[in-house]
């Protein structure tokens, strides 16, 4: 028998890859323990943990959709505006009549569909006209926000009280749910996203396009079709995040979620996805959203000013990108 000798470079590469995979989870544990030590009585309480999880739902669900986009070496700056549009559509449909079960379901589906259509438009423009995703989604960000303000007449839209309002309750009804219904929905979507990325041809194609689009095309992947599907899926998941935002606000607000697209992208990057494409995971993105929620919650409890929070989160994003760059250098 011969012993295989692993070259030092390969061994080093494996170590870096393993550490980068564990990085988001270790980061979450670190910030949680840090704030638990600094503010043990308030931060570590069960109610506050439920609050943190609930606060991460909107960004977390939208980050699942953004994961597919970033893995495919794309970007979507329009998701914040989509969320605002979704809340407005939901409120408008709820105001069409008595809040029956059918109308409530129609309102939820209407908000998701509106975001799905915007996602499809992004994918179509990017795939068919070969326009850089940054430029396309920068434009549709304005379009979606403008449509939301137009149909809402530039004001918030009140809507009747429905079960949709209960999706983001920290203390849910019924009490046996323990956590807000939105958290359970987020976990379900996490499972679906993992299956799509890991167990389906679609998921393999997403990684292939992000790793090398030209090679994927030569291997028979219908790149244009997949890109449209990727951005549409991102839109649908963003629509579900819009439903959670509506539950949080209980009104349709065309000015909601301004700048939230940056938090969503940051969650995916902090979660280990590469802006160069070809790398990332749904679990990592959700952990990234949790890290940001823990940081904001802990800083608020300690009385840390908002501008300091922004500096901290910005530094973490830059650090995550630097780690990604170092990882790629090691591979080379």
Q: What is the pLDDT of residues 244-300, one digit of tens each?
A: 999 999 999 999 999 999 999 999 999 999 999 999 999 999 999 999 999 999 999
Asked whether 63 and 126 are in contact (CB, 8 A), the reply is: no
Give the residue-averaged pLDDT of 175-203. Answer: 96
Q: What is the pLDDT of residues 76-104, one digit of tens each?
A: 999 999 999 999 999 999 999 999 999 99
- Residue ranges in 39-100 assigned as alpha helix (H): 40-43, 46-55, 57-71, 79-94
What integer pLDDT is reported at residue 17 of this predicted model?
Answer: 52
Burial of 210 (0-12, 13-18, 19+ CB in 10 A): buried
- Identify the band that residue 5 occupies on the pLDDT scale cut at 50, 70 and 90: very low
Across all residues in the chain, what is the average pLDDT?
Answer: 91
CA 66 to chain centre: 5
* CB within 8 Å of 296: residues ≥ 6 apart: 55, 309, 313
Other beta carbons within 10 Å of 259: 7
Give the residue-averaged pLDDT of 143-162. Answer: 96
Report d(CA 173, CA 222) in Å as an integer: 46
- DSSP secondary structure string, 56-72? THHHHHHHHHHHHHHHT
Asked whether 239 and 89 are in contact (CB, 8 A), the reply is: no
What integer pLDDT is reported at residue 314 of this predicted model?
Answer: 87
* CB within 8 Å of 224: residues ≥ 6 apart: 127, 128
Q: Is 73 left (phi over 0), alpha (psi -120 to 50) or beta?
A: left
* CB within 8 Å of 84: residues ≥ 6 apart: 144, 145, 148, 242, 253, 254, 255, 256, 257, 258
What integer pLDDT is reported at residue 322 of this predicted model?
Answer: 84
- Quick check: helix, strand or coil at residue 158? strand
What integer pLDDT is reported at residue 331 of this predicted model?
Answer: 62
Q: How many alpha carbons lie under 13 Å from residue 316 in its C-beta half-sphere?
A: 27
**In the predicted structure, residue 2 carries a pLDDT above the cut 50:** no
Report d(CA 122, CA 68) in Å as an integer: 14
Other beta carbons within 10 Å of 153: 8
């Amino acid at each position: 028998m011969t012993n295989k000798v692993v070259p030092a470079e390969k061994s080093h590469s494996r170590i870096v890859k393993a550490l980068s995979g564990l990085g988001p989870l270790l980061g979450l544990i670190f910030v949680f323990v840090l704030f638990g030590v600094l503010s043990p009585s308030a931060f570590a309480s069960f109610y506050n943990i439920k609050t943190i999880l609930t606060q991460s739902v909107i960004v977390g669900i939208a980050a699942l959709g953004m994961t597919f986009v970033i893995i495919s070496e794309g970007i979507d700056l329009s998701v914040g505006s989509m969320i605002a549009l979704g809340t407005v559509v939901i409120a408008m449909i709820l105001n069409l009549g008595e809040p029956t079960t059918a109308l409530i379901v129609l309102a939820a589906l209407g908000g998701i569909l509106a975001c799905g259509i915007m996602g499809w438009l992004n994918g179509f423009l990017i795939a068919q006209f070969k326009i850089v995703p940054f430029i396309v989604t920068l434009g549709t960000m304005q379009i979606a926000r403008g449509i939301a303000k137009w149909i809402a007449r530039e004001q918030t839209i009140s809507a009747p009280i429905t079960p949709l309002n209960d999706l983001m309750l920290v203390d849910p009804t019924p009490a046996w749910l323990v956590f807000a219904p939105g958290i359970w929905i987020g976990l379900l979507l996490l499972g679906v996203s993992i299956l799509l990325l890991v167990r389906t041809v679609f998921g393999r194609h997403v990684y292939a396009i992000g790793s090398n689009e030209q090679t994927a095309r030569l291997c028979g992947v219908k790149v244009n079709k997949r890109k449209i599907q990727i951005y549409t899926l991102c839109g649908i998941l963003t629509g579900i995040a819009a439903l959670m935002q509506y539950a949080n606000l209980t009104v349709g607000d065309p000015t909601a979620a301004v700048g939230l697209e940056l938090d969503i992208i940051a969650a995916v990057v902090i979660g280990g996805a590469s802006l160069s494409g070809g790398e990332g995971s749904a679990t990592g993105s959700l952990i990234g959203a949790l890290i940001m929620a823990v940081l904001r919650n802990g800083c608020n409890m300690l009385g840390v000013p908002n501008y300091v929070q922004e500096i901290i989160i910005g530094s973490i994003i830059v650090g995550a990108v630097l780690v990604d760059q170092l990882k790629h250098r090691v591979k080379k």
